[in-house]
Copies of this chain bind each other. A is one copy, B any other.
Amino acid sequence: MHTFQDPLRRAITTHGDAEALVCGDVRHDYDTTVDRCRRLAAGLLALDLPGGPLRRGDRVAIIAANCHRYIETYLAIPAAGFVLVPLNSRHTDHELRYAAEDSAARVLVTDRVPSPLDDEFEWVIRIPDDYEALLDAAGPSDDPLPADVFPDDLAETDLAGLFYTGGTTGAAKGVMLTHRNLLANAWSTFTWSELGPDDRYLVVSPLFHAAGTVAVLASVWMGSAEVILPAFDPTAVLDLFERERITITLLVPTMLAATTDEQIRTPRDVSSLRMLTHGASPATLALLRRAADTFADAELLHLYGATETSPVATALRHEERLLDTPVGKSCGAPVIGVDIAILDPEGGRLPAGEIGEVGIRGANVMQGYWNKPEATAAALTDGWYRSGDVGRVDDHGHLFLVDRSKDMIVSGGENVYSTEVEDALASHPLVAEVAVIGVPDERWGEAVHAVVVLREPATDPDALAAELLAHARETIAGYKVPKQIEITSDPLPKSGAGKILKRTLREPHWDGHDTAIV
């Protein structure tokens, strides 16, 4: 029975003077961080909103680059009984507007300049000025966790956040995670990270993603420090490793590749790094070997999960010892507290070795999708979250992914749903047929690749490809726009039922790659 208030309470009780958040020149201890959380929540409660004061369960959105204020917001909103809605700053206004309306978030916290999107909210708190003014106005308090700000009847089953992820149908879905879900992930974080009070965690992945916040609650509860990098840059990552004596971090493969290459070019003292975690998209064996050689003192650890599972489901410990073994190609074993099963289409459990849909069960599994009962019913059956990933487990519980039933591409740590990209291209008048697939890419893990059949032959294929990309960019975020467009005059390969055979399209690209999808 824990809520976001428990890590905050322990932080001020047992490690108030320990370093909490480091971001640029900012260096706050836990007393300061919790005090700022209190003042943020008190300031939100005091807002004179058109619809009346914020009430329990109201949504508060954030669109911002990584910074200490992001983590304060992440902690304070749920602890105060509101629901956090972190939005993807890479999304187009079109996509953000959808999430704003779907969640009915009343307040936006953002570091962006004013834009028409602001009209979706009753109030906008701009970082840094409005934000700091709000905190200043709240003033001091004798009680660091006053019940009029952090209600004492908060329940572990209360909603803590809505986390929007792309959907196969084009519309994003708000993943409903409770306090219990996210704290279950904090507990499992202790088990795979061996986190201690001396740890210093570098936050590099975007905080609007589960990969960015994976260790936030665990760090606050434990009293580890978090050092925050506003935007990824391999030089900055390595400088922080050295200067801040970073002990643990999570990088998506594109970041891991760039950071490894930079360390090879210009070695820093990275002896403090004891654990180098990666996840969110497939890494090639070549990259993992290079990373293991380059960061030889660190344990390499592969995490697999989903926003829907808060997020961690499996972990491959000491991957650096396993690179030459079959297990090295797996996502590892379920973390403590989480069960994995391979399910048949009817939801029955398949035995080890058989291929089926990956089901995930545990206190970390979401309550469902906001406003989407059908999608919820399809995703949650008998307590299992049906991930849409296709895989198998071996006799030692290691999970091997073999395909994605969801037709999803993971590029640079972002999920890209093929249908959304296909829709964006197919709306161009010259496009007859289109299929979007993921192809291996050293930098992005997978790159978004489109195969297009035209209604009539192009006179200038290169110009047309550029035109199609510009067309797509109008409706979908930049990271979803194909890296390559392949224009063909042949019809796309299809099954007897007329379904495009994407596996046939993918095959020539993936041939010879060590790790197929993950």
Contact = CB atoms under 8 A, between A and B. Distances in A.
Interface of A: 1-2, 6, 10, 13-17, 187, 190-191, 194-198, 221-222, 317-318, 333-334, 336-337, 363, 395-398
A8 to B, nearest CB: 13
A396 B398 CA distance: 42
A49 to B, nearest CB: 35
A26 B184 CA distance: 36
A222 B13 contact: no
B337 A2 contact: yes
A179 to B, nearest CB: 14
A176 to B, nearest CB: 19
B191 A222 contact: yes
A144 B14 CA distance: 43
Given A191-B190, A194-B195, A363-B1, A397 B334 contact: no
Contact of A196 (B6, B187, B194, B197): B194
The 7 closest A-B CB pairs, nearest first, are: A14-B333, A13-B397, A14-B397, A194-B194, A190-B190, A194-B196, A190-B191
Most buried by B among A16, A197, A221, A334: A197
Contacts of A363: 1
Contacts of A396: 13-17
Contact of A334 (B1, B14, B187, B222): B14
Contact of A221 (B2, B194, B195, B336): B336
A429 to B, nearest CB: 54
A333 B15 CA distance: 9
Nearest to A198: B318
A195 B336 CA distance: 12
Contacts of A13: 333-334, 396-397
5 contacts: A10-B336, A13-B333, A187-B187, A194-B194, A194-B196
A15 B398 CA distance: 10
A2 B187 CA distance: 13
Given A16-B396, A191-B222, 11 more contacts: A10-B334, A13-B333, A13-B396, A13-B397, A14-B334, A14-B396, A190-B190, A191-B221, A197-B318, A221-B336, A222-B336
Nearest to A363: B1
Contacts of A10: 334, 336, 397
Contacts of A221: 191, 336
A397 B396 CA distance: 42
Nearest to A7: B336
A295 B195 CA distance: 23
A222 B194 CA distance: 11
A363 B395 CA distance: 34
Nearest to A9: B339
Nearest to A187: B187
Contacts of A17: 396
A187 to B, nearest CB: 6
A295 B10 CA distance: 30
Most buried by B among A191, A317, A363: A191
Contacts of A337: 2, 6
Contacts of A222: 191, 336
Contacts of A317: 196-197
A13 B395 CA distance: 7
Nearest to A18: B396
A197 B194 CA distance: 10
A497 to B, nearest CB: 38
A318 B196 CA distance: 11
A10 B10 CA distance: 30
A125 B222 CA distance: 44
A21 B221 CA distance: 32
A422 to B, nearest CB: 39
A2 B362 CA distance: 10
Contacts of A187: 187, 190
A109 B412 CA distance: 58
A318 B6 CA distance: 23
A398 to B, nearest CB: 8
Contacts of A336: 10, 190, 221-222
A225 B137 CA distance: 55
Nearest to A12: B397
